[in-house]
Chains A and B, each alone.
Chain A
Amino acid sequence: MPVVKAVTCPVCGSLCDDIELTIEDKEIVKVKNGCAMCESKFLNYNGKHRIRKPLIRKDGKLVKATLKEAVRKTAEILAEANYPILYGWSSTSCEATRVGLELAEEVGGVIDNTAVVCHGPSLLSVQEIGISSCTLGQIRHRADLVIYWGSDPWSAHPRHIERYTTFSEGRFERSEWRGYVAKIKASIGRKKIESVLRRLFLKKKPTVPSSYLEGRVCPTISREGRKLIVIDVRRTKSAEMADYFIQVEPNKDYELLQAFRALIRDQELDVDKVAGVPVEYLEEVSDAMVGCNFGALFFGVGLTMSRGKLRNIDAALSLVRDLNTRTKFIIMPMRGHFNVAGANTVSTWQTGYPYAVDFSLGYPRYNPGETSVVDVLMRKESDAALIVASDPVANFPRKAAEHLVENPLVVVDPHMNATAHMADVVLPSAFVGIEASGTAYRMDHVPLPLKRVAEPPRGVLPDEEILRRILSEVRKIKRKKQVAAEAQ
């Protein structure tokens, strides 16, 4: 049975590129090295929700059509629209996004990617403050302090800790995996002894340990080796693994970040607690931050989408900038979709802006809040939409989704998702990274190749090819219109 090695996983922003797939009768039968999400995608991508034929809505029902008909209908919708939106792009290849941008310019629409509902605020703040960052390889080999703020890598980026941070075996920093296993074993042993004692002698109710170690100084914060700090509103699975966990009150991240900034600058605070955390603990953590040789702060949607949004990131970026006056520190957003960083990168090198680009005046304009898709939909301004590799009906605010489906809607997706069910035209596409090759950018902006390891269903094309055909058809319609106008 052929085994394909070094496959890049098209699931999350970690973009693990050490996956080994066993292929039997043109089907993937075994996945090695992948996390649960990776295995699930590679083994089940071709399930019952797969769209195999193009569909067009006729008399209220989606009926099968030829690819030519569907492309023609899509081109008509886009060419006639006065303010169309083109949304998605984060779960497809950079090559497809490039064609999408060309199409957006041709039809004078608004092109936006899923960053608008995840790390858009991060991009806005990076433009104001700047970012001190590096590649994940640097972190793997050198970072001795890793902070995850508002993100739970154990659940959302399962191999991030193992491949790039605390549990990875770096050239200059050892993995903390053994220490964690020992800690778990000790914890299980302690719980067992406590349980036995409780049942036999004391008959006491179990005590709930305080988040802040009942007033004692954390013993692990000052130990040698790689340290992991988790800051979140709840005790996540990642927090269980951390040397130090700070439970911040919901929507108080900005206050906590600003307090850290002041403490790092050796300033005294007038208050005793910030965001529910005693200042003495914050001092301890800020000492650890200043005392490390190479620190890395990863932040997730918990920071970008909680109250304060881009200003939370503004404070986080400023904190890292301040820390760099004392030690080496970097910051990196935990990107969700496997190629959301690629969608931003391609959009930036094509238009100058990473997302929410408006071509309605013939040149790219950018002002999230004004030109971002969710806001355009909430104000009911668009009159048609093309959705590529995304499901906005399932995750946009209800009012936005309502306006999206009220107008002509085209979906290019491998799956029959909620948006496809509401669409006027559905174009099936091949899975990028499984049935189509391409390029994707990892969360640290390293481009990686996506491999084609299986055949798509007959007649199903990759996103890039479908978009090229739509673009060519739109150009034909526009040329005809121009000729007709000149004749008049």
Chain B
Amino acid sequence: MIHLYPKKEFDLPLIAECINPDVFQNETCEKIEQLKIWEGNSQKKLGELFKVEENQTASQPEKTAITIYGDMSKVRKIGACMQNGEIMIQGNVGMHLGEEMKGGKITVHGDAGGWAGSMMKGGVIEIHGNASDYLGAPYRGSSEGMRGGKIIIHGNVGSETGAHIQNGMIKIYGSAGQFAGFRMRKGIIYVQNDCGGRAGACMTEGTIIVGGLLESVLPTFSIEGVRKKAKIEEDEVVESPFYLFLGDLTESGKGRLYVAKEKNPHLRIYERLL
């Protein structure tokens, strides 16, 4: 198990694609310290910015596990493209966490910056704090969103969660900002609490479940009925009456938007159409 401790408080943005279990696998501490990392516009060695420690335990995990202690909110691209192993961050973390990751697990005991789990294809990201905008969404200009894996957020998230998502699951146990599931093509987004407006804008397929207040439903969604429960996973079902909307009409979509009935009295006007 590798432990990383930042040697100072970072002011400049750091690009640290090398903090990845696949890169650290079977490497000695000395070699890890020589890995290249960008701080602002200058290239540094990982050892100049982090104290690297290797902890040999009796129950050594088969794949490399990395634990980072400290504020990493300026450090970007941690675990980008990772396929195996585990990263645990005891503190906040910067943008592009687990970008294009294919496997393994990332756990954050703090908040995460924008584009966490961007374009991910597999694996699990669990964030015990809040996540910023564009969770699981692709980079600017791309329409190739998240294709698989699971993202679990125990706090709140910003806007455009799961934009262009093509498969996989995003579970948010707090609230979400506007445009959740924008241009969603497949997959599931579950928001346990409140959700900003425009959820599922331009979605064509997939499911969005909102357990709290949804500011407004877009006029381009049509009501399908009231359902007693909504299924998130095989073993996770939310038992509560939900309004089911289908949309988005502008994209001839068949996406399913479940909105908790009790928390959204302003949507009663749709009941006349049932």
Give the interface of A toward B (CB within 8 A).
Answer: 81-83, 107-109, 124, 127-128, 254-255, 258-259, 261-262, 265, 267, 269-271, 274, 307-308, 311, 314, 318, 322, 359-362, 366-370, 379-381, 383
Contacts and interface: CB of A to CB of B under 8 A. Distances in A.
A265 B38 CA distance: 50
A188 B244 CA distance: 53
Given A82-B42, A361-B15, A370-B95, A259 B219 contact: yes
Contacts of B69: none
Interface stretch (B104-112, B136-144, B146-154): B136-144
Interface string B239-269: 0000000001110100000000000000001
B134 interface: yes
Given A128-B143, A270-B270, A381-B13, A369 B41 contact: no
Contact of A367 (B41, B139, B221): B139
A262, A314, A380: residue with the most chain B Cβ atoms closer than 10 Å: A262
A254 B249 contact: no
Given A258-B218, A265-B250, A269-B219, A360 B139 contact: no
B61 interface: no
Contact of A82 (B39, B216, B222): B39
B220 A261 contact: yes
B11 interface: yes
B223 interface: yes
Nearest to B42: A82
Contact of B222 (A109, A270, A307, A361): A270
Interface residues of B, number: 40
A267 B249 contact: yes
Interface of B: 11-13, 15, 38-42, 74, 76, 95, 114-115, 133-134, 139-141, 143, 178-179, 182, 198, 201-202, 216, 218-223, 248-250, 252, 269-270, 273
B204 to A, nearest CB: 13
Contact of B198 (A83, A311, A322, A369): A311
Contact of A366 (B74, B140, B250): B140
A82 B12 contact: yes
Nearest to A126: B141
A265 B179 CA distance: 22
A81, A265, A360: residue with the most chain B Cβ atoms closer than 10 Å: A360
Contacts of A128: 141, 143
Contacts of B179: 308, 311
Contacts of A359: 41
